[in-house]
Amino acid sequence: MSGPVAARLGDRLHLQHGPIDLIIGCDPGARAAAFAAAMARFASVLGELVAERPALRVQGAAVQGPVARRMAAAVAPHRVFVTPMAAVAGAVADEVLAAMRAAAPVTRAYVNNGGDIALHLGPGHSFRARIAGLDGADLGLVDVQAGQGIGGMATSGLGGRSLTMGIAQSVTVLAPCAATADAAATLIANAVDVPGHPGIVRQRACDVVPDSDLGQHLVTRFVGGLTGAEVALALSGGAAEARRMQAAGVIHAAILCLRDRVEVAGHPAYFLERSAAHA
């Protein structure tokens, strides 16, 4: 495998190494030092993860490295089957952002790891991100303001980079950090489901991706026709899981999308231009 690659994209920085692909932005005053710190920290991240890969694929296993510890901490609050790998993208984003903040007086910065985003917003700053469906449909706008305690957002569901046990088109979560949002989005998306539905095709994860950390757990491969009542039932299961996490202080909010319905769990002010039901 070739080593890390860095390139400037105008005011942004692109870092890529193996499956990790980051787009990084930072306010102009701190940009040079922050980008240098991001590149320095990124250089060893993939190697650290590969070294601990066996432990990271096991629920509850002891891990050592800083990114691995972020991953383990993100899944620790959840009492269902989930390995630290559920938080890998968010944890990498958090780690690189932490290096940037340690190196420079950053006032607004983000690290976007394939849609799982670590954020730092100083007073008066904000961040907006568009939620798009698998067909490119506009599902709404996430609006995050400084002082809300949100340090990360992540999205999971069908058609994403990882396997899912549910049928959600997408679940976007806002949380204190990107690793926490990443793990929570995975589990909420798993809970958007209609168990036993004949139109939902499932397959063992290990048959889809031989080395998947999900092993013999069934993952969703195809979702056929759903009635309006079935869509509502599936979303209610995911929304209930999201509200449980919110009540426990794990996440701030989540937006769940399935077919033509959008449901919000948590404070609706985080989401603009919503088009359907709200929890």
Residue 128 has which token pair? 């907006």
Q: Residue 99's Cα: distance from chain center in Å? A: 20
Residue among 37, 46, 40 at smallest CA distance from 17:
46
How many other CB atoms are there within 10 angstroms of residue 259's CB atom?
17
**Vertex 43: Cα angle to 38 and 44 (nearest 5):** 120
* 278 falls within a domain: no
Helix (H, G, I), strand (E, B) or coil at 202: strand
* 116 falls within a domain: yes
* 151 falls within a domain: yes
CATH of the domain at 50: 3.10.520.10
* 56 falls within a domain: yes
* Predicted pLDDT of residue 236: 94
* 247 falls within a domain: yes
Which segments in the chain show pLDDT lower than 70? Answer: 1, 133-136, 160, 268-269, 272-279
- Indicate left, alpha or beta for 123 from its phi (over 0: left) and psi (-120 to 50: alpha): beta
* 105 falls within a domain: yes
Residue among 83, 88, 65 at smallest CA distance from 215:
83
* 279 falls within a domain: no
* 244 falls within a domain: yes
Structural domain of 109: 5-272
* Predicted pLDDT of residue 266: 81
Residue among 157, 150, 152 at smallest CA distance from 257:
157
Number of domains composing the chain: 1
Q: Are 44 and 37 in contact (CB under 8 A)?
A: no
